[in-house]
Amino acid sequence: MSHVSRPFTPGGPPLLTHVLVRLEIHPDLLPPWLHPGESVSLPVPAIYPCEAQGEPLLSFLAAGAVYPAIVRREAEIFFCFDYLETLEFVRLERYCRVRRPWASYVPFGYRHVPIAARRLVATLLTMAKRLSRGSGFPAFPLEKALHTLTYVVGRCAAPSGEAASRGQPVPGWPGGKRYCVVLTHDVDTPHGIRAMERVWNIESSYGLASSWNIVGRLFEGNERAIDRLAKDGCEIGLHGDDHRLRMPYLPAGAIIGRIAKYKKFLETYRIQGFRSPYYLRSPALLSAVSRLFVYDSSIPDVDTFSLCVDRGGCCSVLPFRIGTLVELPVTLPYEIVLHMGVRPRGLNAFWREKIEWIKSAGGMILVNTHPEPSYLLEPDVSRAYGELLAALAGDGSAWYALPGEVAGWWAGAGVKGKGKGAS
pLDDT in tens, 364-399: 999 999 999 989 999 999 999 999 999 999 999 999
C-alpha distance from residue 402 to each of 192, 364, 420 (Å) = 20, 12, 8
pLDDT, position 105? 79
With contact defined as beta carbons under 8 Å apart, do 247 and 269 qualify? Answer: no
CB of 47 closer than 8 Å to CB of 81: yes
Q: Write out pLDDT tens, residues 165-182.
A: 444 444 579 999 999 999
**pLDDT at residue 215 greater than cutoff 70:** yes
pLDDT band at 57 (very low <50, low <70, confident <90, very high): very high
Same domain flag for 153 and 229 = no
- Going by pLDDT thresholds of 50, 70 and 90, the confidence category of residue 423 is very low
> Which residues, listed in sequence order, are joined to residue 187 by a DSSP beta bridge?
214
Q: What are 386-389's contacts with CB under 8 Å, separation 24+? A: 386/202, 387/348, 388/334, 388/347, 388/348, 388/351, 389/183, 389/202, 389/203, 389/206, 389/208
pLDDT given at position 123: 55
Q: What region does 143 belong to: left with phi over 0, alpha with psi -120 to 50, or beta?
A: beta
Whether 415 shows a pLDDT value over 90: the answer reads: no
In a domain, residue 37? The reply is yes
Q: Report the range of poorest mean pLDDT among 56-60, 168-172, 305-309.
A: 168-172
* Preceding amide of 141 cis, omega within 30: yes
* 223 and 315 part of one domain: yes
What residue numbers bound the domain in which 245 lies?
Answer: 177-410
Domain shared by 189 and 75, yes or no: no
Does 137 fall in a domain?
no
Residue 3 has a pLDDT of 66
pLDDT confidence of residue 160: 47
- Kindly state the helix (H) or strand (E) to which residue 296 belongs, with its residue range: strand 295-296
Residue 228 and residue 201 in contact, taking contact as beta carbons nearer than 8 Å: no
Question: Which is more confident, 124 or 13?
Answer: 13
Look at residues 162, 196, 231 and tell me which one is the last residue of a structural domain.
162
The phi and psi torsions of 235 (rounded to 5 degrees) equal: -105, 145
For the cut 60, the answer to whether the pLDDT of residue 285 exceeds it is: yes
**Does residue 27 lie in a domain region?**
yes
Q: Does one domain contain both 197 and 266? A: yes
Q: Please state, rounded to an integer, the average pLDDT across all residues of the chain.
A: 89
